[in-house]
Chains A and B, each alone.
Chain A
């Protein structure tokens, strides 16, 4: 396999594309040294192999994973694909190879390095999702509620269900600036689209008033005898503050009163 080792798989960056890489690994017997998406591709010493996404192959691999490793593992892998783990594709390929041998219980084999790495990344993604369910801050622009987030993992696919259920009767958009994606919900239907750059609409004066009310609540609810900024920071890291309404300076045309402030 020595020369075969030098092949680099290039795929379209979708989960389906990745499944085709798995198909190629098994049917062409070419062991990849790396698997990268077109977007991340940089020329190297490796021989390049373009993997076309073929839905026949996608179906076969998906079916095989579900058949041999169970639905839970397929869901786990789908989730792993959204994480920002370096070389996640290689970890996932090795996971699948091991999983075909060991079966569904592979997911519990936490003392295995590949499983542990994916488990950790997946847990990070789940936690970040849980946080961002709370951290999305909409503001009203016309009839639409819009929000911007900058998570580390690709969260929109796993957050869509929650928000479309919760705000079933309001049109909204969540823009993920890290991954240049937007979740758009309108008239009971949603889609996640790739976008280049979105200029967020300006905040109206009415909306600003609402934001000040919220910040007023936020500042007042803290008990000064229990002031504990490091505790807050560990739950709400500073990188998230940029997109949190209550952490902005909203003063101007100030109608605040000082009681309860510090």
Chain B
């Protein structure tokens, strides 16, 4: 089999992996080739609009496991291939020299057993780091069930290690990925967290202490293959951030690849809107100082499809608004729908120089489309705007509905008058409607 076919098969098998970030570590030219940039660099965007930063491939798609949702499961009849460590290292360097990529993202099916596969991956990374002196970004997936020593070796060689949590609960895992378990997923995760903790401690004591996965760890889970609520998923990601110090939790809308009675039917559309809402909420957790319990609750456990989580929160907490732009603390500015981290920072900087009105907000680049219903400038609201929950909800929904659902304003008004319960009932309908429009 030539390189062309191999690359084709192993890329095709890896494309459902979500993460392709190259951020979190800044490193100058220390080796023979390569640097890493803290903000990460995207090199291209594929036809689905996802960024391409790393050469994302599986080391092999031969697999001992039989996870129901996976295209590479043992019982599937698909073309199989495997790189040799040297082939993959050479390809990475060739691509890197042409500035096609930022580094390597390596994951794998389980060939023979978890340890054997990890050893192959490690020898590939070794060639890159030690032989080529490659100083660019490497992200590796640890194989659940591999021994602790191997995870530690991998962590000392690469920038980011991650273990896929795969599904949002142990019950679903048992059902859909019987060879994996919560325990053997969380064990390597713990090893990585501990390794980082140790490296951080040693760095204080010794100048040249070895680093351990300096760009941190991430994980991903499939959304929509099992029946957990949004609240459950959000709380789980919150716990992962808190307990395992994860850098990112990625969500992947379930795309039916296999016919299986335990899974949604094969013609199910991927729940892209739900995935989008989860990412929005994830950002609120990481950058906006929200807790999962503020965004959703046990009773109200699914996202409102018509409103983003921040708007939704603001409308339920109208007693905190309007916020006076010229005096409000940074933390409160961050909670205004339509104002993000950049906008809030710019407001804080600019208001030291002059009192801000709506014109100056526009000038400094704050978008008022959503924000206008929640703020005042010098005590005044924007023209023709009154701060009122029902009216704000009406305006916000018709605005976002136009974007997301392509339905007419009349329908949107009607929908916004439903109480929350019936909105949730409509979730599925509206979702399918959107999929038809967008896909």
Contact = CB atoms under 8 A, between A and B. Distances in A.
B255 A222 contact: no
A130 B102 CA distance: 13
Given A134-B42, A136-B99, A255-B4, A218 B52 contact: yes
B346 interface: yes
A120 B364 CA distance: 9
Interface in B353-391: 353-354, 356, 359-360, 363-365
A109 B28 CA distance: 34
A137 B33 contact: no
A236 interface: yes
Interface in B1-51: 2-5, 7-9, 11-12, 14-16, 28-29, 32-35, 37, 39, 41-51
Contact of B350 (A108, A145, A165): A108
A8 to B, nearest CB: 29
Contacts of B41: 130, 133-134
Interface string A208-225: 001011101111111111
B439 A225 contact: yes
Nearest to A139: B98
A168 B33 contact: yes
B318 interface: no
Interface stretch (B89-97, B169-177, B240-248): B89-97
B100 A245 contact: yes
Contacts of B37: 133, 162
Interface string A108-124: 11111100100010000
B289 interface: no
Contact of A166 (B35, B353, B365): B35
A110 B349 contact: yes
A190 interface: no
B97 A170 contact: yes
Interface string B275-291: 00000000000000000
B43 A111 contact: no
A105 B353 contact: yes
A231 B95 contact: no
A257 interface: yes
B352 interface: yes
B353 A108 contact: yes
B14 to A, nearest CB: 8
B141 interface: no
Residue of A113, A221, A222, A223 ringed by the most chain B CB atoms within 10 A: A221
A221 B353 contact: no
Interface in B241-259: 253, 255
Contact of A226 (B11, B95, B272, B365): B272
Contact of B44 (A223, A236, A255): A236
A165 B35 contact: yes
A111 B11 contact: no
8 contacts: A105-B352, A108-B350, A135-B44, A216-B4, A225-B269, A225-B270, A259-B12, A259-B79
Given A116-B363, A135-B44, 6 more contacts: A110-B360, A110-B365, A222-B47, A224-B48, A225-B439, A226-B253
Interface of A: 105, 108-113, 116, 120, 130-131, 133-140, 145, 147, 162, 165-170, 210, 212-214, 216-232, 235-236, 244-246, 255-257, 259-260
Closest 5 CB pairs of A and B: A231-B49, A111-B360, A222-B46, A110-B364, A260-B12
